[in-house]
Structure 1
Amino acid sequence: MAESPQPLSAVQHSRLRLRRLPEGAPYFVQIVAGEFATAAATCPIFITKAGDTGEFYAGAMFGFEPGEYLLHPGDAFRPLDLERQGFFIDGDKIAIDPSNPRFSEQDGEPLFEAGEPGESLRRMQRLLGHLKAGVDQTQAFIQALLRHKLLAPMDIELAFDDGRNLNLQGLYTVSLDALQDLDDAAVVELFRSGHLQLAHVMAASLKQVPVLARRRNARLAA
């Protein structure tokens, strides 16, 4: 059971070490705008609602149901939100969950060396900075989609060789039809903000859905 996050302290956590992340990932992981291009090369990107708050967020899909991971090792994409596992942003400070299995006193890279942040912690500080900025950028993108009525719900139905049918619900993407109907001023606004490019990347990522479906069928056959 996870503990409450604790402010990271060179005194209290001087002996903690950071282990590598395990292979694989949850089947759907939150990502930020700066990760869209990399994610789209290997997996579909959708927008969905957080179950606890109802707020929209962007995520990369690695499988079609919990426990499924369909990316190949060579094209694995590691989202910032996954890489920061065990770490949290608490205002301008960093907090950790000491019970997270990433932390150990026996193996891994030390968080602190002689009371100063070690390389592993400096790397995490940079990562959390990118993540915090990325969340703000992504929310601005989603708000632009909502403002221009470009967010369209998707119901994806998939049939597999084992006879199972999966219906993926609660997912949203960019409506290219609605995008083409925008007036010039709205298009220029989206272009100058970088949101137009993100919209096209997100729409293009949908081609990865049948790719993942073929991989699932190949695993079933094996």
Structure 2
Amino acid sequence: MASKPRTKPTPPLPLFYREPLPLSASAHAAWRLKDGDLTFAQDTAFAPLVLGELAAASANYPVVFAGAQAAPVAILGLEQRNLFVADGQWSPFVHVPAYVRRYPFGFIATRDPDDFVLAIDAGSDRVVQAGDEGEPLFEDGKPSALTLRALAFCDAFKSEAAATAAFCQALLDKNLLIDRRADATLPDGRKLGLEGFQIVDLAAFQALDSDTIVDWHAKGWLALVNFHLASLDRFRALLDREGGAVSEGRAT
């Protein structure tokens, strides 16, 4: 009996993106982008962060680490709901993660792993593929001012992402991260649990050797760890938004 050919599993799409496509002046000459709101982010409980915004994010959200690469994320809710988006608008005076602000643009890797091209999510409600609504993505066969701004933003984001990966790898190399969970009871009696994330072990952090401390101070990493640790107090504010009471998280 002949065996069926194996199919390569399709990698999951990045958060928010439904149909990311590399932008091309020839293929997307008529495409435009209209104004929109942040409804696309209302059903997510987290958002990825990059190094340069960790300090700002820590003032509003619990900042934790998740996944095999221990990537930093902002916790936006304890259910599959963003507590900071209402009627398509982010809460005023609250930091909006760069990952959210760059959407519907992004980068897609080419066959060269070190090369990337600007992409757009064709599945976004803001993308207009025909007509004259919104701003053009291309003008006279060249990227418009809108597209050039998006390219600059995504390029800066990519550079920050590389610096973020280096910082997170250092945390892993020093075995500083421990598993953590948080539990909450809502006024209606429902119990919520958030798990699958890690935080820096304060005792292990304080026991770092002097050479590492000097190196991390020069890189600004000591301050970033302290911002992260301070942000854990934001769990209480998160529960205030949810309308519940949080119990003390525990390491597992």
What TM bracket, shorter-length normalisation?
Answer: 0.7 to 0.9
Distance change in 2, residues 1:188/1:42 (3 Å)? same
Alignment partners' CA distance in 2, 1:213 and 1:132: 32
Give distance in 2, aligned partners of 1:214 and 1:69: 10
Determine if contact 2:78/2:193 at 8 Å carries over to the other structure. Answer: no
**Compared with structure 1, are the counterparts of its residues 202 and 19 closer, same or farther at alpha carbon in structure 2 (3 Å cutoff)?**
farther
Contact 1:21–1:83 at 8 Å: present in 2 too? no
What is the aligned partner in structure 2 of residue 37 from structure 1?
Answer: 55
SS of 1:74 mapped into structure 2: coil
Gaps of 5+ in 2: 1-16, 110-114, 245-252
* 1:159-180 Cα distance to aligned partner (Å, 9 max, x none): 2211111111111111222111
Q: Distance in 1 between matches of 2:183 and 2:53?
A: 26
Residues 54-203 of structure 1 aligned to structure 2 (within 5 Å): 54-70=68-84, 73-89=91-107, 90=109, 91-104=115-128, 105=130, 106-203=132-229
How far apart, in 1, do the equivalents of 2:116 and 2:82 lie?
35
- Helix, strand or coil at the partner of 1:93: strand
Instruction: Indicate the structure (1 or 2) with the bigger Cα radius of gyration.
Output: 2
Counterpart of 1:212 (choices 229, 235, 238) is 238
2-side partners of 1:174 and 1:19: how far apart? 42
What SS is found at the alignment partner of 1:59?
A: strand
Return the letter of the residue paired with 1:198: L
The 1-side partners of 2:157 and 2:36 are apart by 17
User: Shift of the alpha carbon at 1:21?
Assistant: 4.4
Task: Give the Cα–Cα distance (whole angstroms) in 2 for the partners of residues 150 and 21 of structure 1.
Answer: 41
Structure 1 unaligned segments of length 5 or more: list them: none
Within 1, Cα distance between the matches of 2:47 and 2:184? 20
| Residue identity opposite 1:107 in structure 2 | E
CA contact 1:70–1:216 (8 Å) conserved in 2: no
Deviations 1:29-54 (A, max 9, x none): 111111101111211111111xxxx4
What residue identity is the alignment partner of 2:50? Answer: V
| Cα offsets for 1:60-107 (capped at 9, x unmatched) | 111111123236621333222222323332323212332332311443
The percentage of aligned residue pairs carrying the same residue is 32
Higher helix share: 1
TM-score, length-scaled by structure 2: 0.77
TM-score (norm 1): 0.87
Give the Cα separation in 1 of the matches to 2:106 and 2:45. Answer: 21
Check the 8 A contact 1:70/1:212 in 2, yes or no.
Answer: no
Asked if 2 retains the 8 angstrom alpha-carbon contact of 1:19 and 1:102, the reply is: yes
Amino acid at match of 2:196: G
CA distance in 1, matches of 2:225, 2:36: 31
Check 1:13–1:59 CA distance in 2 against 1; reply closer, same or farther (3 A cut): same
Residue by residue over 1:102-157, the C-alpha shift from the partner in whole angstroms, topping out at 9 and shown as x without a partner, is: 31144322212233222221221111111111111111111111111211211111
Number of residues of Structure 1 aligned to a counterpart in Structure 2: 213
Q: Which residue does 1:20 correspond to in 2? A: 35
